[in-house]
Structure 1
Amino acid sequence: MAQESSYDVAVLGAGFAGSALAAALARGGTRVLLLDPGGHPRFSTEEIVTPYTATLLRTMAVWHRVPELAWLADAPSASRRVSRSTGVGRTLGFLYHHHGRAPAAADVLQITSPAAIPAEPTLYRQDTDSFLFHAAVRYGADARQHVRLAEVRIETSGVSLTAVDGRRFHAGFVVDAGGGGEAFAAGAGLVDGEELPAHSWSLHTHLVGAGSMREATGSTRAFGAPGRWDDGPCYHVFDGGYLWRVPFGNHRRSTSLVTGVGLTVDATRYPFPSGASPGDVLRDLIEPYPMIRAQLGAARVVQPWTVVTHRPPAGTTLAGPRWCALPGREPSGFFLSRGLTDQLAAAGLLAVLLRGRGAGGLDPAGVATAKATLASLRAGGNTLAEMVLAGTRSPLLWKAVLRVWEVGLLFGTLQAQGALRRLRRGDDRPARALAGSPDAGSPFPGDAGFRRLLDRAVGLCADGAADPSAAGERLFVLLRDAEVVPDVFGFTDPRKRYYHPTPPDLARLALWTLRSAPPGTGAVVRDGLRAVLGASARPSTGGAKP
């Protein structure tokens, strides 16, 4: 029998989140085993870093003294210190398409980050995941690639792992970060009965030769947009689904020739054609939309297609005293790479809960926190997917759904920025409360006013199938009546197309927090504004030496 090796924590899956968790734990002295059934480099989905995701990366970097995580939070440092194949996400575009014609100017939306703040990167996952994997090894994780598990036994005293080739490992705690497979599911009791019906399915690959928005429209700033459409990801939305493009070669330092392309559609309206190839499915779905066809018609596939079916989450528990499963990517439909964000949030929470516990696993309070937080993350991803798919039914409903999530993501990011600011000053209480929030799945966790807005918006979307435009009108009324929504950036105006925050806008937002905002909301947003304005005064760390 093969000799057994012992560790405090075993992480199954050496992707982005698994490697980040392993690096954070190993940096703090935890004996970490990092197992993966495959190897690096490898192709992966979910390549967009939102401002909230960037704040999670910076928070983990500060909290656990792993600066490599912060290098992936802004485009200049990612390009200089990680990979020149990473792209820039200065803008985020949304264009609503109708059959047979290009989008109308009234049906486009663009969000542009302030020039004073470094843009987020787009992640070329072959390089970024490999980089984090090697960072985890550098900090002391014992990494084993190409190890497939035959059995995972979870007992009160610890966890026993047996590989297909007979190697055995023992750990006090095990985390499935996507590499545990059926062996982990069986060991943790996660094998459920009948699957819930799928609400959507997705395709994803990398292409070479994809056309740009400039080539498709004849202008870098088509429709009068303040930012260049090719300076970041773009979502092309149509009735029943959306296609996204993630650029990597969109800055001078980039060496990449590829574009990430994905498609998510409503499975109840467009069941995946039996026996069809992913390439044929994509071609048939984009055929009615001339602008999309102009960009992708001549492109060539350079990576295997990823095909994922998205289902509502089952009620299975995701944590116990000796184990935890990070949220999967299935519920979220890949919108804004929400699955990656949730996995990173869960990894950050576990890094805190397991810190200094050696092989002891989670205490009862830690188990309760992990269960509540992970369940909320998973439910929140499903809520996002269902609202977004409902929103695709009409341009007006799409605009209204985006406004709800824009408000939440703006304030949620400011909330996280405020917690990070205090963490840098030695106070980890706000960051700890945010990481373990039972409302973590909300884009603005813990805010009662936003939770009411979100719950009512979910109901309107669910009831709006018969008349989606009327549902959009009612949702805009709801936005105008909500105390938590400021009349600053035009969130309540369906005619507003571009969001390009300026110093006067931020000043008006600060006044709103003092004069009109609910007291709790105002205090959180003000604290976040202080953090953002302070960060914008500091130069990017992209050129600094390790």
Structure 2
Amino acid sequence: MDPKDEYDVIVVGSGLAGSMTSACLSRNGARVLLVDAGSHPRMSIGESTIPATSMMMRLVAERYNVPEIKYLATFEGAYSKVTTQVGVKRNFGFVYHRPGERQVPRETHMFPIPKITHTENHFFRQDVDNWMVLVAVKYGTKVVQQTRVTDFDFDEDGVTATFHTGKQVRAQYVVDASGYRSLLAEKFGLREDPTRFRHHSRTLFTHMVGVKPYDELAPKSRYHHPSPWHEGTLHHIFPGGWMWGIAFDNHHRATNPLYSVGLQLDPRQHPKPDCTPEEEFRRFIAQYPDIAPQFANAKAVRDWTRTDRLQYSSRQTVGYRWCLTSHAAGFIDPLFSRGLSNTMETMNALVHRILSAIKDGDWSTERFQHMQDLEQGLLDFNDDLCANAYISFGNFKLWDAWFRIWSLGQIIATFEINRAYAKFVDSRDESVLKPLESPWWRGKVVAKGQPYENALQLLRDVNEVMQSAQRGDIGAEDAADELLRRLRTADFVPPAFGLEDPDNQWTDASLFGVLKTLRWAKKKAPADIGQLTYEGLTLFMKKRFDKGEFEFGEELKHALAPTVFGKRFRVPTPK
């Protein structure tokens, strides 16, 4: 075989998971072939980022010396360095609806992105994914598009990949980041049938133009939310499902008129009708007087995608010289934007294992077994998160309580990543990153005396309450009361966000609230949670002013754009 056709790693799938993995491996000396059956540009879901995702992007960029990944960690970085087609994300917005009724303004929630940290993104994936492939090429990855792998043959010395053209290449390892139709999953019969996941949902989605900002249509309210709905990821919540709204034209320097919309439905409550996807969408939103007007003049600019049940799982994600990652391993639901976050956590743990195996020449399955535990734990955690949310959608009081539980988990996870990132940047000691490879908040068993025991016990207990509600053993309102009782009596809930207060709709951490929380962390919080909270807030805030961490010039331009310069600022050429 021609030496040019021999590689250390073959990565299948050139979405963000595959291209980022390839870039990190190539940057650190690995010979990488990135193969994709399709080509770019193309639409992909997973357009909304969350703080935990962006912090993991920062960490991966620093750990594997790929600074381009850090550009994606802030809206300003992505806009100035990658593509002007991205939208801004200043909040998670949740608006509860009942069929046939006007929306009740009190039944809304917003989780603002704290201004003291950074601004999140609405990724225009066509541009972002294509750009990331080019970054991988920059660092030495060879990319082959419109090429389908038809077989993998594993032996003692490596793996042979055969393409649909008949060409063969050799490698030491395969990373499958392809998706549901994974060749490895099919070859080894890895899919669980039926899936072990509790959650049930199907989807239909597209990009549209002519969508009105919800702020222009929402019922008038005395409840003033911290930022416009249109400047965040909007979630319309209703019994049996939800709908995302992701705007790319939601800032004063926008160049992209599109609006991403996706309807997620529990097929047990909303079976697929015998009509086109657009007809189904129009019929469904017609039930909701404060959703339908948003799309009265909207038009789809691409074909609708409609699926059957989305959830699938794998009994095994690691084997001899291969690993399923990202959506090749399994999928749950776009709710709470966990998919890309799981991808980053998986990639962080996988890349250094592959680099060590290349160095040592040891490709034993045992060396990668931890990836199986990590990936399955991430999927199971997301399954509980989404399944319980859909249970709560049938009753606003229960949804209100579950929103607070989700918020607590998001805050805890982000503190943990913030702390690890800041310590790693200062020390370059990879041992400080180990907690992120065994995230304590996703454990299935609570061991006496383990760190954050009380917090972990709460997360386990509320999951059991929600499953009891699903079975009908407890009523929805009683379940909500129990969740709120546990939040109120817990001594480890950071006070800045008001999670224990049922009258508080906005988890808005003001400067005063942050200072109050820092004092609480030092004086009143349990020692482990107090230290996590204090370090999670202060260590990263100090990095806010370090060179290369933030695009301060871009932040200033976007801040001045609405009042001083409008859209007259020159649109930068992405690098």
Shorter-chain-normalised TM-score: which range? over 0.9
The aligned runs of 1:166-177 (5 Å cut-off) are 166-177=166-177
- Alignment correspondent of 1:462: 467
Query: What residue in structure 2 maps to residue 541 of structure 1?
Result: 551
Alignment of 1:88-237 (within 5 A): 88-178=88-178, 181-194=181-194, 199-217=200-218, 223-237=223-237
Counterpart of 1:401? 402
Asked if structure 1 preserves the Cα contact closer than 8 Å seen for 2:201 and 2:311, the reply is no
1:439 deviation in Å?
4.5
Instruction: Give RMSD over aligned pairs.
Output: 2.6
d(CA) in 1 for partners of 2:238, 2:503:
19
Q: % of aligned pairs identical? A: 28
The residue identity in structure 1 corresponding to 2:321 is R
Number of matched pairs: 544
> Secondary structure of the residue that 1:498 maps to in structure 2?
coil
Tell me which moved more, 145-154 or 416-425: 145-154
Cα distance in 2 between the residues matched to 1:114 and 1:244: 21
User: Which residues in structure 2 correspond to 1:348-363 (within 5 Å)?
Assistant: 348-358=348-358, 360=361, 362-363=363-364
* Map of 1:85 onto structure 2: 85
- Equivalence for 1:298: 297
Q: Does 1:262 align with 2:270?
A: no
TM-score by length of 2: 0.88
Unpaired runs of at least 5, structure 1 = none
Per-residue CA deviations over 1:345-386 (Å, capped at 9, x if unaligned) read 212211121124328464555322111111111111211110
Which residue of structure 1 lines up, in the alignment, with residue 327 of structure 2? 328
- For 1:456 and 1:35, the matched residues in 2 are separated by 44
For the residue of structure 1 that corresponds to 2:291, the secondary structure is helix
1:377 lines up with 2:382 in the alignment: no
User: How far off is 1:285 after superposition?
Assistant: 1.8
Question: What secondary structure is seen at the aligned counterpart in 2 of 1:106?
Answer: coil
Query: For the residues of structure 2 that align with 1:64 and 1:266, how far apart are their CA atoms?
Result: 40
Q: Is the 8 A contact 2:97 2:236 kept in 1?
A: yes
For residues 402-459 of structure 1, the C-alpha deviation after alignment (integer angstroms, 9 at most, x for no partner) is 111111111210110110001111243455313421657479x974323211211111
Measured in 1, the distance between the counterparts of 2:24 and 2:188 equals 24
- For each residue in 1:294-322, what CA deviation from the matched residue of structure 2 results, as whole angstroms up to 9, or x when unmatched? 11232111123333444665461111241
Q: Which residue of 1 aligns with 2:241?
A: 241
Q: SS at 2:373's partner residue?
A: helix
8 Å contact kept, 2:117–2:541: no
Matching residue of 2:424:
423
Match of 1:59 in 2: 59
Q: How does 1:485-524 map to 2 (within 5 A)?
A: 485-524=493-532
Q: TM-score, normalised by structure 1?
A: 0.93
1:413 alignment counterpart: 414
Tell me: CA distance 1:192–1:331, structure 2 relative to 1, closer, same or farther (3 Å): closer
1:105 and 1:22 mapped to 2: Cα distance? Answer: 47
Q: Distance in 2 between matches of 1:222 and 1:264?
A: 30
Q: 1:98 to 1:62 in 2, by over 3 A?
A: same
CA distance in structure 2 between the aligned counterparts of 1:484 and 1:320, rounded to whole angstroms: 40
Q: 1:452 aligns to what?
A: 457
Match of 1:260, SS state, is strand
1:172–1:361 Cα contact (<8 Å) kept = no
8 Å CA contact 2:199–2:332 kept in 1: the answer is: no
Contact 1:396 1:469 in 2 (8 A): yes
Q: Please say if residues 31 and 358 of structure 1, whose CA atoms lie closer than 8 Å, have aligned partners that are also in contact.
A: no
Instruction: Write the distance in 2 (CA, Å) between the matches of 1:182 and 1:323.
Output: 12
Q: In structure 2, give the amino acid aligned to 1:368.
A: Q
Q: Which residue matches 2:306? A: 307
Determine if contact 1:106/1:495 at 8 Å carries over to the other structure.
Answer: no
String of CA shifts for 1:222-242, please: whole Å, max 9, x gaps. Answer: 841121111111111011111
On the 8 A contact 2:35/2:143 being kept in 1, the answer is yes
State whether structure 2 residue 28 is matched by structure 1 residue 28: yes
State the Cα deviation string for residues 198-253 of structure 1 (Å, max 9, x = none).
7111222111111111321387x984112111111111101111111011111122
Matching residue of 2:567: none
Q: Which amino acid aligns with 1:415?
A: E
Q: Which moved more, 1:114-123 or 1:77-86?
A: 114-123
C-alpha distance after superposition, 1:48-95 (max 9, x if no partner)? 110100001000111111111110111111111111110000122111
Unpaired runs of at least 5, structure 2: 445-449, 555-573
CA contact (8 A) 1:265 1:389 kept: no
Would you say the 8 A contact 2:191–2:312 is kept in 1? no
Which sits farther off after the overlay, 358-367 or 413-422?
358-367
Which secondary structure does the structure 1 equivalent of 2:159 belong to? strand
SS in 1 for 2:106: helix
**DSSP-derived class of the 1:162 partner:** strand
Residue type of the partner of 2:459?
L
Which residue of structure 1 lines up, in the alignment, with residue 571 of structure 2?
Answer: none
Misfit runs of 4+, over 6 Å? 1-4
SS of the residue 2:43 aligns to: coil
Corresponding residue number in structure 1 for 2:253? 253
